[in-house]
Amino acid sequence: MSSDAKPALLPPHLIEGYTSFLSGRFSDEQMRYRRLAEKGQNPRIMLIGCCDSRVAPEVIFDASPGEIFVVRNVANLMPPYAPNDDLHGTSAALEYAVMGLRVEHIVVMGHAQCGGVRAFASNEADPYQRPLSPGDFIGKWITLMAPAAEKLGRPDEVSLDVYVEHLARLSIKQSLINLRTFPCVRILEERGKLKLHGAFFGVSDGRLLALDEPSGEFVEVAAEAHKAAFATPRF
């Protein structure tokens, strides 16, 4: 690049994607975007997901603009209610979704091969080889998994891969517990105006599981559609 050339304002790949968006989805849904701009958003679902680039909720659920209010963080964690002077991004998003938008459903969605869960699990397996220092942001954030890990026990009798998958699912349950420590969530759920859900997405196979809270088990969603998707191999 010559000294006179201007640096790219955005990565070229993003500009290419935006151009495709304009000629495709935006063109098809231009009136929807206009209505959303004029009337505001009114999503019925809030989804708390992981910021992992492989698990975009809008893609997985084929959602149109304005349908899902999404907050993403490392390892899709929900902290407990803690009204103090710290900064609480995820809690602020929850408060807005519940009190401002009046969502009717909150979904905590984890996924397979989660790097945040693996980082915590690796530390549990070998506390003398910490993958992250306890003083950095991620190291402190993923301690939210500690209650789930205590219920699961140490990863001594199973492989780390198996332990990570178990911890990821148990952590979803812990986030639901933490959600219910928020008075606004607890009250609205008791009144039947808000429902909480847990979900788990398989990155490699696209399999979606949903938590059946009474049994504590994750069960497959749309199993027949998932099977049909693999019936005809694509090359």
Distance between CA atoms of residues 73 and 61, nearest Å: 18
Is residue 4 annotated as part of the catalytic site, yes or no? no
Q: How far apart are the first and last CA of the chain?
A: 38
Is residue 13 annotated as part of the catalytic site, yes or no? no
Is residue 136 annotated as part of the catalytic site, yes or no? no
Annotated active-site residue in 25, 54, 197, 226: 54
Is residue 86 annotated as part of the catalytic site, yes or no? no
Q: Coil, strand or helix: which one is 29?
A: coil
- Across 57-104, the runs of DSSP E, i.e. the strands, are 68-73
Q: For residue 211, what are the contacts with CB-CB under 8 A and spacing of at least 6?
A: 169, 172, 173, 176, 197, 198, 199, 200, 217, 218
Annotated active-site residue in 50, 118, 166, 169: 50
Task: Report residue 28 as tokens.
Answer: 């098809």
Is residue 114 annotated as part of the catalytic site, yes or no? yes
CB 134 within 8 A of CB 100: no
CB 108 within 8 A of CB 48: yes
Annotated active-site residue in 114, 118, 166, 169: 114
Annotated active-site residue in 52, 118, 166, 169: 52
Question: Which residues have a catalytic role annotated?
Answer: 50, 52, 54, 111, 114
